[in-house]
Amino acid sequence: MQGHLRRSRIANNKVNDMSYTKRFDGRKFDETRKMEAKAGVISRADGSAYFKIGDTVAYATVYGPRDLYPRFMQNPEKGILRVNYNMMPFSGSGERVRPGGNRRSRELSMVIEKALLPVVELEEFPNSVIDIFIDLPETDAGTRCAGICAASIALADAGITMKDMVAAVSVGRVDDKIVVDLNYDEEAYEDGPVADVPVAMMPRTEQITLLQMDGEITKEELMQGIQYAKKVCKDINAVQRQALKEKYQNGGSDE
């Protein structure tokens, strides 16, 4: 999508040896990009959050539990969770993203919903719905992970009962190195095999709620990546907690 500009940049970075010795942005291999989080950024919503990791920015808004229509979707046993993932038209670094849903956004909405479902206690809200809207004004890979992190803060901000928060990060392999939190340049690396593995988990128990994989990776490398993810998710969770505590120590009003 981003085309030839990226490619030439990557080519310049390479000095003809066959390994990825240094990351494009100078990070350590198990280091995430700079993170920033804030709770309560949208005052009309029941809960909201902002989560930024590197150049990927996610806003999550939570509405509900609220009345669910159409009626046939209601579940008398427990409430339902509805997630809407949306990349804004100007969010990419290349061409304009066509607004509205597409195949990709529907799939991501679904996987994010499934990643959050194990923690949210929906039995308390029969026949109702909790709506989560994730909007991405700026993207540089890792959007589903940033979306999950933001959504998790927003759910807690909305006062919803949940077993734990969910933290997510992508790990993977670029050439012969196992890396954490790939950016777009690394995902688009062309001089060797790349694998991108988004992982979401409950940081306290290390139970995994989302694990996807795109690319080629060996079992050993994958296990190594997941080990990295476990450590990093705890750091992400600390950022999430900090965001919530900051808001509520100051009385809990939205901005």
Partner 1 sequence: MSELLVQDKTIVVPGEELAAGIDYLPAVGTYRDKDKIIASRLGLLAVEGRALKVIPLTGRYMPKKGDTIIGRVIDVAFSGWRIDTNSAYPAMLSLKDATSEYIQRGADLTRYYDIGDYTVSIIVNVTSQKLIDVSMKGQGLRKLVGGRIIKVNPHKVPRIIGKQGSMVSMIKQYTDCRVVVGQNGVVWIQGTPEKELLAVNTIRKIETESHVPGLTERIKEYLEASGARPSAPQQDSQ
- Rounded CA separation 247/106 (Å): 32
- Rounded CA separation 184/217 (Å): 18
The minimum distance between CB 59 and partner 1, in angstroms, equals 18
Alpha helices in the chain, H assignment, sequence order: 4-13, 103-116, 143-157, 184-187, 219-249
Pick the binder of partner 1 from 113, 157, 185, 221 (CB under 8 A).
157
If one asks whether residue 125 binds partner 1 (CB under 8 A), the answer comes out as yes
If one asks whether residue 203 binds partner 1 (CB under 8 A), the answer comes out as yes
Of the candidates 201, 205, 119, 121, the residue with the CA atom closest to the CA atom of residue 164: 119
- Rounded CA separation 228/232 (Å): 6
- Rounded CA separation 34/67 (Å): 38
Which CB atom, from 165 or from 217, has the smaller least distance to partner 1? 165
Among the listed ranges 8-16, 61-69, 83-91, 141-149, the one in contact with partner 1 (CB under 8 A) is 61-69
If one asks whether residue 73 binds partner 1 (CB under 8 A), the answer comes out as no
Pick the binder of partner 1 from 84, 128, 207, 224 (CB under 8 A).
128
For residue 37, the SS3 value is: strand
The minimum distance between CB 94 and partner 1, in angstroms, equals 37
Which CB atom, from 71 or from 98, has the smaller least distance to partner 1? 71
If one asks whether residue 151 binds partner 1 (CB under 8 A), the answer comes out as no
Subset of residues 19 to 58 that bind partner 1, contact rule: CB under 8 A: 46-47
Q: Distance between the two ends of the chain, CA-based, in angstroms?
A: 36
The minimum distance between CB 67 and partner 1, in angstroms, equals 6
Among the listed ranges 64-72, 98-106, 207-215, 216-224, the one in contact with partner 1 (CB under 8 A) is 64-72
If one asks whether residue 252 binds partner 1 (CB under 8 A), the answer comes out as yes
Of the candidates 237, 49, 253, 56, the residue with the CA atom closest to the CA atom of residue 151: 49
Q: 178 has which bridge partners? A: 173
- Rounded CA separation 194/173 (Å): 5
Subset of residues 209 to 238 that bind partner 1, contact rule: CB under 8 A: 237
Please classify residue 103 by burial: count the beta carbons closer than 10 Å to its beta carbon, then call 0-12 exposed, 13-18 middle and 19+ buried. Answer: exposed
Which CB atom, from 6 or from 234, has the smaller least distance to partner 1? 234
Q: What is the largest CA-CA distance in the chain?
A: 62
Kind of pairing between the strands at 128-138 and 80-87: parallel
> What amino acid is encoded at 117 in this protein?
L
Which CB atom, from 111 or from 156, has the smaller least distance to partner 1? 156
Pick the binder of partner 1 from 65, 142, 147, 225 (CB under 8 A).
65
The minimum distance between CB 132 and partner 1, in angstroms, equals 15
Which CB atom, from 112 or from 239, has the smaller least distance to partner 1? 239
- Return residues touching partner 1 (CB under 8 A): 46-47, 64-67, 76, 79, 119, 121, 124-128, 156-165, 202-205, 237, 240-241, 244-245, 248-253
